[in-house]
A and B are shown apart, each in its own frame.
Chain A
Amino acid sequence: MMVPVLLAASEVNVALNVAFGVLAVVMIGAALFVVTTKNVVHAALWLVIVLSGMAAQYLLAAAEFVAVSQVLVYVGAVMVLFLFGIMLTRAQIGAEGNLNNPGWALGIPVALLLLGVMGWAIIDLFGDQTIEEAPGGASTQAISDQILSPYLAPFLAITFVLLAAAIGAIVLARKD
């Protein structure tokens, strides 16, 4: 049961499966360091490794455009803003005390519960189905075709949410 769940298309893609395993171990290790390290900047840098590992996993799944978006948005923008914010406010070098929230232990059952629910949902939905590879690999064009025809309404809705967030940020930042 465990092996077919963990491994993509069995016999053919040995290298892909090995790479998936290595990346997964690195990501899990880095994620543990994010919550255990004693320095906020170090936590942010371990998070960079987790998010880059995610981009590499997308590349292994031949989702080139999603992988590049992951790098551009999370590594290039979100993490830079995180680091920027941390360094503007508390740029201490070395270990810090009292980083943990008093209720941190509650996070463990919540994380396990989420893992269980999501894993169960995915296995229940797809089982041992194989997802067919897109022919030609012109996935970027396919994504844009999908976004601009069947998914146009949700796409526009998201842009309005982002616009509202941007305007809200400006209103908060204005002094007068």
Chain B
Amino acid sequence: MSVLAVEVPYWGQSLLRVLGGIVAVLLPAGTIVYVFLFKMMSFMQSRLGPMEAGPYGSMQLFAEVGKWLQKEDLVPDGADKPIFKIAPLIVLGSTFLLVAAIPFGPDAVFTNFSAGVFYALAVSSISVIGILIAGWSSANKYSLLGGLRAAGQLIAYELPLVLAVVGVVIQAGTMNMQGIVVAQNEGSMFGWDGLGNPFVITQFIGFVVFMISVQAELTQVPFDMPVAESELVSGYMTEYSGFRFLTFFIAEFATAGVFSLIASVLFLGGWGIPFAWFGWDGIDDVSNWMNVAGPLILFTKMMLLAFIIMWVRFSYPRLREDQLQTFAWKFLIPLSLANIAVTAILKVAV
């Protein structure tokens, strides 16, 4: 790999990848919190939101982080201390593992896993362990209930999430994320290649199921029973304060950003623009400047999807616990299975 005609040694590449991964996780998280959580929610409620720190309150996030870091790191007396302390780090760590599979440009990839999507779905399930043990080790009944609710919900919605992706994998013919991006941008709709073939059109059912499952996996309203404040105080986060609460908070929005990135790669064409626009023949033919423009394009698509997630979050009331389970098992899973069957038949027949 060479950056600006300078040959980078292996350790330098690894360092660059780690730094890039940190940026790719924290930048979307910060942007989502400021633009949507602080500003959009305030405007929807006819108020201004934070205005004091920096122009239009744009430095509010740094003030918040500073505030949380100053607070005492409380651990309940009856808690299982080492596990209580490590739990938020497991949740945030799974987000960092998740970003490794996402391609940001023709050469701007962290790893080019041949089973990229499968990897992303697998490591996203690690965070459940962190949430469960956070709830258990707090020595608090509300926390334990929240942790159990979270586990039940995340297991239930993991299935439609995986099954919705299967349709995309069948249509693209590969599990490699880079391959899925290329398949969408090289493709054409009935011979017209002005838009490529973004899977959001052909896999619309898969897209809707995927976004609903993501909403539930992120425990965002209307699926926020694990932290339902009117029933469980704060669910599995009840006993956390200071730096460890901050870790959970960052993980929540960083995962929202990373799942939006994955959804843009799977359904909106990822970093790419239709290759026909510039007459590129394939991935090897793509111009080098796409390594700079690609991340920006992907970031724009990510913001669009994150907007939808947050819009739903601020618009709907919470579902009931049994409605949530019924919705996953009796509606989403059969629907995504039917989607797989139809996609497979069309793939073979057409």
CB of B125 within 8 Å of the partner chain: yes
CA distance A84 to B113 in the complex (A): 31
Chain B residues near A141: list those with CB within 8 A.
114
| B114-130 to A contact mask, C-beta < 8 Å, 1/0 | 11001101110110110
Q: Given A64-B115, A68-B119, A76 and B126 touching (CB < 8 A)? A: yes
For the complex, count residues of B whose C-beta is within 8 A of A: 31
**B140–chain A nearest beta-carbon distance, Å:** 10
Interface residue SS majority, chain A: helix
Q: Of B83, B118, B125, B126, which contacts A45 at CB under 8 A? A: B83
Flag if B132 contacts A83 (CB, 8 Å): yes
CB of B148 within 8 Å of the partner chain: yes
Flag if A87 contacts B148 (CB, 8 Å): yes
Flag if A84 contacts B114 (CB, 8 Å): no
Flag if A84 contacts B148 (CB, 8 Å): yes
**A115–chain B nearest beta-carbon distance, Å:** 29
Q: Which of B150-158, B244-252, B273-281 contacts A (4 or more CB under 8 A)?
A: B150-158
Name B117's closest neighbour in chain A (CB-CB): A68
CA distance A71 to B139 in the complex (A): 28
CA distance A72 to B154 in the complex (A): 13
| A87-110 to B contact mask, C-beta < 8 Å, 1/0 | 110010110000000000000000
Flag if B139 contacts A93 (CB, 8 Å): yes
CB of A25 within 8 Å of the partner chain: no
Chain B residues near A93: list those with CB within 8 A.
78-80, 136-137, 139
Chain A residues near B175: list those with CB within 8 A.
140
Chain B residues near A139: list those with CB within 8 A.
114
Flag if A76 contacts B158 (CB, 8 Å): yes
Which bucket holds chain A's interface residue count? 20 to 34
Chain B residues near A41: list those with CB within 8 A.
80, 83, 133, 136
Flag if B137 contacts A64 (CB, 8 Å): no
Q: Of B80, B115, B118, B152, which contacts A84 at CB under 8 A? A: B152
Within 8 A of B (CB), among A8-60: 39, 41-42, 45, 48
Q: Of A71, A81, A91, which contacts B136 at CB under 8 A? A: A91
CB of A77 within 8 Å of the partner chain: yes
Flag if B115 contacts A80 (CB, 8 Å): no
Flag if B114 contacts A83 (CB, 8 Å): no
CA distance A87 to B129 in the complex (A): 12
Q: Of A39, A65, A88, which contacts B118 at CB under 8 A? A: A65
**B126–chain A nearest beta-carbon distance, Å:** 6
**A83–chain B nearest beta-carbon distance, Å:** 5
Q: Of B125, B136, B147, B148, which contacts A77 at CB under 8 A? A: B125
Chain A residues near B133: list those with CB within 8 A.
41, 45, 83
Q: Given A80-B151, A87-B136, A48 and B118 touching (CB < 8 A)? A: no
| B31-73 to A contact mask, C-beta < 8 Å, 1/0 | 0000000000000000000000000000000000000000000
CA distance A68 to B144 in the complex (A): 29
CA distance A88 to B123 in the complex (A): 24
CA distance A139 to B154 in the complex (A): 30
Flag if A71 contacts B126 (CB, 8 Å): yes
Q: Given A76-B122, A80-B151, A87-B144, A140 and B114 touching (CB < 8 A)? A: yes
Q: Which residues of B contact A (CB under 8 A)?
A: 78-80, 83, 113-115, 118-119, 121-123, 125-126, 128-129, 132-133, 135-137, 139, 144, 147-148, 151-152, 154-155, 158, 175
With contacts A69-B118, A88-B148 known, what are 13 further pairs, Cβ within 8 A?
A41-B80, A64-B113, A68-B118, A75-B126, A80-B155, A83-B133, A84-B152, A87-B144, A87-B148, A91-B136, A93-B139, A140-B114, A140-B118
